[in-house]
Amino acid sequence: MTVASKLPKVGTTIFTVMSRLAAEHGAINLSQGFPDFDGPAPLLARVTHYLTHGYNQYAHMAGVPALREQIASKVATLYGRAVDPETEITVTSGATEALFCAITALVRPGDEVILFDPAYDSYQPAVDLCGGITHRLPLAAPDFKPDWQRLRDTLNDRTRLIVLNTPHNPTASVWDADDIATLRELVRDRKLYLLADEVYEHIVFDGRRHESLLRCPELYARSLVVSSFGKTYHTTGWKLGYCIAPPALTEELRRIHQYVTFCSNTPIQHALADYMAEAPEHAQELSAFYQAKRDRFLGLLAGSRFRFTPAAGTYFQLLDYSEISDEPDTELAVRLTREHKIASIPISVFYAEPPPTRLLRFCFAKDDRTLERAAEILCSL
C-alpha cells in the first residue's frame, strides 16, 4: 500500500547524509554539530549514580522539579528574570521536541509563520504538519541580520508566529540589543507569538552578550524560549532540552508535550540538576572554551585560500570558498568528503531560495588534533 505523505518534500536531513558520507569515506567529520569529546566527568558520574540507584522510572511530565529549579536559578542569574519552575519551565526530549511542541501548540491551518533563512531544518516540517504557511525571509552575508523592512512588509493579521534563532545555526551570527529593540517595536501592536531558538545561548564570542528574549519583559510575554542541554554540556546524544514560556503558553505547550513524549529521561535530568548546582561555572566558561577553539581553527586556516568572518557565536564557522572553486556548495561538500576526506555542511540547503553564495559550514567543537588535521587538508585546497 502506498502512503500519501504528509511531508512529501522532506528527505533525509543533510546532517545524516553528510555524516553517513563522512563515515563511508573515512573523512574528518566537521559536518554535523556535535563535539568529538565527552561531557564533564563529574556529570557522567552523576548519571551512573542515578542509573544504579533506582531513578529509572517516568519523571514528572514537566521535568524533574530539581532540574526546573536549577534552570530557574540560572535564568535569574543570567537574564534577571524570575520564572516559576512550576508554571513556566518544561523539560523536553531535546530542543527539537520543544520546538515541535511549541509550533504545534500555536499554529493552526492557514496561520502564517515567519522563518529566517538559512533556517534550522526542523521548523518548516512542523509548520507544514499544522497546515501553516511559511514566509521564509533570507538573511544575507556578511552579517546575516534580518532585513527589518522586509519583515515589516510581510507581517499581517494572519501572522501567528515568528521563529528566531540567536546565536544562529548555520551562519554563526548573533543578535544584538538593537536587533531586539527593532523586533520589539515591530511586534508591539500585533497579536503574534515569538519562538526563540536559543540552544547556543552560552556560546557567544569577543565580549558579546547573548540577548535572550528572557531579558525583555515585553517580548517574553508573547514568547517561548528554547534551549538544549546537549549543546551546553557536550552531550548532544542525551537529547534533553527545555522550553520557558509564560504560564498560558506553557499550558498549551504541555498539552502537546504530554502526548508526544509525556516526559524525558529521568536519571539524566537528576544528574544535570546536581551538576548545574555544583558547577554553575561550566556554562559561564563555555564561550571562552569555544572561542579558543574558533581562534585555533581560524589561526590554522590563515594560510588557506578560504575567506571568513570569525563566528560571532555557536560552534560553527562559515568558510567562503570562492577563490577555490565555483562549484555549488552541495557538490563541493560531497567532493571534499569523497576526495579530500573532510566533511562539511552546504548552507544553501537551509534556504527556500538559496542566494549565489559560496559558503560551507564547519563545526569546530572538536579536539585540537582533529582541528589540526582538518586545517591541514583545508590549507592544501
Ligand X SMILES: Cc1ncc(COP(=O)(O)O)c(C=O)c1O
Of 72, 199, 216, 263, the one binding ligand X (CB under 6 A) is 199
Q: Does 241 bind ligand X (CB under 6 A)?
A: yes
Of 90, 159, 169, 264, the one binding ligand X (CB under 6 A) is 169
| Shortest distance (Å) from residue 164 CB to ligand X | 10
Buried b / exposed e across 200-234, counting CB within 10 Å, b at 16+?
Answer: bbbbbbeeeebbbbbbbeebbebbbbbbbbbbbbb
Residue count at the site for ligand X (CB under 6 A)? 14
Q: Does 165 bind ligand X (CB under 6 A)?
A: yes
Q: Does 72 bind ligand X (CB under 6 A)?
A: no
The contact mask relative to ligand X for 113-142 (x = CB under 6 A, - = no) is -------x----------------------
Phi, psi torsion values for 344, nearest 5 degrees: -140, -175
Contact 138, 173 (CB under 8 A): no
Cα dihedral: 146, 150, 156, 161 (round 10): -20
| Shortest distance (Å) from residue 363 CB to ligand X | 10
Of 33, 35, 39, 63, the one binding ligand X (CB under 6 A) is 33
| Shortest distance (Å) from residue 95 CB to ligand X | 4
Query: Which window, 52-60, 92-100, 101-109, 349-357, contacts ligand X (CB under 6 A)?
Result: 92-100
3-state secondary structure of 143: coil
Q: Does 96 bind ligand X (CB under 6 A)?
A: yes
CB atoms inside a 10 Å sphere around CB 344: 30
Non-local CB neighbours of 149 within 8 Å, separated by 6+ positions = none
CA dist 220 and 243 (Å) reads: 12
User: Which residue type, as a one-letter code, is found at position 15?
Assistant: F
CA dist 214 and 87 (Å) reads: 15
User: Which residue type, as a one-letter code, is found at position 197?
Assistant: D
Residue nearest to ligand X (CB): 94
The contact mask relative to ligand X for 39-68 (x = CB under 6 A, - = no) is ------------------------------
Residues 217-236 binding ligand X (CB under 6 A) are 228, 230, 236
Q: Does 216 bind ligand X (CB under 6 A)?
A: no
Strand partners, 28: 342
CB atoms inside a 10 Å sphere around CB 256: 17
- Best CA proximity match to 133, nearest among 153, 156, 152: 156
Per-residue cell: 208: 558579546
Query: Which window, 90-98, 141-149, 180-188, 327-335, contacts ligand X (CB under 6 A)?
Result: 90-98
Q: Does 329 bind ligand X (CB under 6 A)?
A: no
CA dist 119 and 362 (Å) reads: 16
| Shortest distance (Å) from residue 243 CB to ligand X | 11
Give residues in contact with ligand X (CB under 6 A).
33, 94-96, 120, 165, 169, 197, 199, 228, 230, 236, 239, 241
